[in-house]
């Protein structure tokens, strides 16, 4: 019992009528065969199928059998297994166990399949160019849903030991030229290895029987020729476009992340969407963008430095002002901005141009001069910073009073902070402190 694979005869077949040969519902049997561990699924064996089973780095087709979604297709010992979601009541009547011999309609997700065909063929052409140009051998291939990775080891031309940007651009350009030349892509099936060996394959044949050779272009001078069980379009032009988007070292090889066909187009659409507003923002063409951003960064950095110096100066002035206010404070006269009592004076200073870090710096620098309580208010952040020489206890003033006004914060005896959500709460808290310490 061998499943007839209709995609090998016509890769463009999207639908077929098949006869059910066997229904497998036992989860343990399914698992042993290689099914995915998905609850509420079962497997079907058909006489023939349009579904491509996972293999050769290509994910399986998905689609429908009658109205039942097919989530995974795999093969074992020449039999193709279709894993389906538990059947609806309309699937072949009530009992799936009695479904053998019945006819079903198979329908693949064609968009997904065609993308896989574009990717697989793109991978062949690119790998062929790596091999022809630099003796780079494809040692690993993975196809994801929106990109693929190809691992190339430079091993057949000793003059090339590592990839340069120029080498990669050259391979990419030649691969696209091969695509646009729109040469035919042919698949040749052989029973025995010896029959297949007449083709100029770039990789030694590793299997002995049932070999399929994929040839891009003529057999005598192909863009690529290799054994492969995947699905490919009939002409190279259908790949459309191939683009290497990343290269990195990987276990002594170079791993290329590649997009082909619809994925390459989607990648362009996304980058265009990001790039266009950026170019408008910087009044630049794409090739000038990086230079313009660098100039802008240089300007920003100069402004930041200037701001830092200015703030340093302003904080210095403020330190002097506060210190001189404390120095002129006599024990029997309390003058503005001081409030409270002679024994416990309170000074409140509010700022709209310093952030809380600036005020922290300011407070720490005047700690030695403080008498009573120094309160620095950062207006934009609705934050109050308290400083003292330990009496009164700043942390305690925050812990015991701030939450009454939805203030959050904490600190120690000499330094604490409270953050509020409303200006009026902050002001009421300051009034309370004043009364409390009077």
Strand, helix or coil for residue 197: coil
Does 120 help bind Zn ion (rule: CB under 5 A)?
yes
Each as own residue / partner, the long-range contacts of residues 410-416 (CB below 8 Å, 24 or more positions apart, any chain) are: 411/386, 413/388, 414/367, 414/387, 414/388, 414/389, 414/390, 415/360, 415/363, 415/364, 415/367, 415/385, 415/386, 415/387, 416/385, 416/386
Kindly provide the residue ranges of all beta strands, DSSP E only, lying in 40-170, ordered along the sequence.
41-46, 48-49, 63-65, 68-76, 79-85, 103-108, 136-143, 148-154
Distance CA 169, CA 133 (A): 12
Query: Considering the complex, what minimum distance in angstroms separates the CB of residue 111 from Zn ion?
Result: 19
CB of 194 to Zn ion, least distance (A): 22
Q: At what angle do helices 110-134 and 262-281 cross, to 10 degrees?
A: 80
Residue 407-436 contact track with Zn ion, rule CB under 5 A, x = bound: ------------------------------
239 vs 433, beta carbon nearer Zn ion: 239
Distance separating alpha carbons of residues 31 and 28, to the nearest angstrom: 5
Residues 378-397 that bind Zn ion (CB under 5 A): none
State the DSSP H helix or E strand holding residue 250, giving kind and residue range, or none if neither.
strand 242-250
Enter the tokens of residue 217.
């272009």
CB of 120 to Zn ion, least distance (A): 4
Q: Which of 66, 63, 64 is nearest to 89 (CA)?
A: 66
Would you say 230 or 395 has its CB closer to Zn ion?
A: 230
Q: How far is the CB of 229 from Zn ion (least distance, A)?
A: 7
Residue nearest to Zn ion (CB): 228
Q: If binding is defined by CB under 5 A, does position 261 make contact with Zn ion?
A: no
Q: How far apart are CA 297 and CA 291, in angstroms?
A: 10
Distance between CA atoms of 216 and 127, rounded to whole angstroms? Answer: 12
Q: How far is the CB of 228 from Zn ion (least distance, A)?
A: 3
Stretch in the footprint of Zn ion (CB under 5 A) among 230-238, 289-297, 361-369, 399-407: 230-238
Q: Are 344 and 316 in contact (CB under 8 A)?
A: no
Q: Binding of Zn ion at residue 216 (CB under 5 A)? A: no
Closest CA to 196 of 211, 207, 184: 211
Exactly one of 128, 136, 222, 230 binds Zn ion (CB under 5 A); which one? 230
Phi, psi of 408 (to 5 degrees): -120, 145
Please list the residues that pair with 151 across neighbouring strands: 140, 255
- The yes or no reply on residue 228 touching Zn ion (CB under 5 A) is yes
Position 202 contacts Zn ion (CB under 5 A): no
Rounded to 10°, the helix 110-134/165-180 angle is 130
Nearer to Zn ion, 171 or 227 (CB): 227
Told to check if 119 binds Zn ion by CB under 5 A, we report: no
Q: Is 116 in the site for Zn ion (CB under 5 A)?
A: no
CB of 73 to Zn ion, least distance (A): 17
Q: Which is nearer to Zn ion, 125 or 373 (CB)?
A: 125
Q: Work out how close the CB of 118 gets to Zn ion at its nearest, in angstroms, rounded to a whole number.
A: 11
Q: Which region among 37-45, 120-128, 164-172, 401-409 touches Zn ion (by CB under 5 A)?
A: 120-128
Would you say 215 or 376 has its CB closer to Zn ion? 215
For Zn ion, what does the binding mask look like between residues 70 and 109, x meaning CB under 5 A?
----------------------------------------
- Cβ nearer to Zn ion, comparing 228 with 376: 228
Closest contact distance (angstroms) between CB of 56 and Zn ion is 6
- Residues making contact with Zn ion (CB under 5 A): 120, 228, 230
């Amino acid at each position: 019992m061998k499943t007839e694979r209709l995609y090998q005869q016509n890769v463009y077949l999207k639908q077929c009528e098949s006869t059910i040969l066997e229904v497998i519902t036992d989860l343990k049997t399914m698992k042993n065969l290689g099914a995915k561990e998905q609850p509420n699924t079962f497997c079907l064996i058909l006489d023939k199928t349009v579904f491509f089973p996972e293999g050769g780095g290509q994910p399986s087709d998905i689609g429908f059998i009658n109205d039942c979604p097919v989530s995974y297709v795999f093969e074992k010992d020449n039999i193709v297994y279709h894993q389906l979601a538990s059947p609806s009541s309309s699937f072949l009547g009530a009992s799936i166990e009695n479904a053998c011999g019945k006819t079903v309609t198979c329908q693949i997700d064609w968009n997904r399949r065609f993308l896989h065909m574009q990717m697989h063929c793109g991978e062949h052409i690119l790998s062929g160019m790596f091999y022809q140009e630099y003796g780079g051998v494809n040692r690993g291939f993975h196809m994801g849903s929106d990109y693929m990775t190809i691992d190339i080891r430079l091993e057949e031309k000793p003059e090339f030991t590592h990839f340069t940007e120029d080498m990669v651009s050259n391979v990419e350009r030649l691969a696209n030229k091969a695509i646009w030349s729109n040469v035919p892509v042919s698949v040749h099936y052989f029973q025995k290895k010896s029959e297949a060996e007449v083709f100029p394959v770039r990789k030694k044949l590793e299997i002995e029987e049932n070999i399929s050779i994929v040839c891009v272009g003529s057999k005598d001078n192909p863009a690529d020729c290799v054994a492969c069980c995947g699905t490919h379009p009939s002409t190279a032009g259908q790949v459309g476009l191939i683009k290497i988007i990343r290269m990195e070292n990987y276990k002594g090889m170079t791993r290329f992340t590649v997009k082909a066909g619809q994925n390459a187009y989607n990648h362009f659409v996304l980058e265009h969407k990001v790039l266009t507003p950026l170019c408008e923002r910087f009044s630049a063409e794409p090739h000038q963008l990086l230079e313009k951003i660098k100039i802008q960064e240089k300007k920003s950095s100069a402004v930041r430095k200037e701001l830092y110096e200015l703030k340093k100066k302003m904080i210095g002035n403020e330190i002097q002002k506060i210190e001189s206010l404390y120095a002129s404070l006599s024990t029997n006269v309390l003058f503005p901005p001081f409030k409270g009592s002679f024994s416990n004076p309170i000074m409140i200073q509010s700022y709209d141009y310093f952030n809380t870090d600036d005020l922290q710096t300011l407070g720490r620098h005047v700690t030695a001069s403080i008498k009573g309580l120094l309160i620095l208010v950062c207006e934009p952040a609705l934050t109050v910073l308290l400083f003292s020489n330990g009496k009164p206890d700043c942390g305690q003033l925050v812990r015991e009073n701030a939450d009454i006004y939805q203030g959050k914060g904490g600190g120690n005896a000499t330094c604490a902070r409270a953050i509020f959500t409303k200006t009026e709460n902050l002001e009421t808290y300051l009034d309370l402190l004043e009364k409390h310490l009077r």
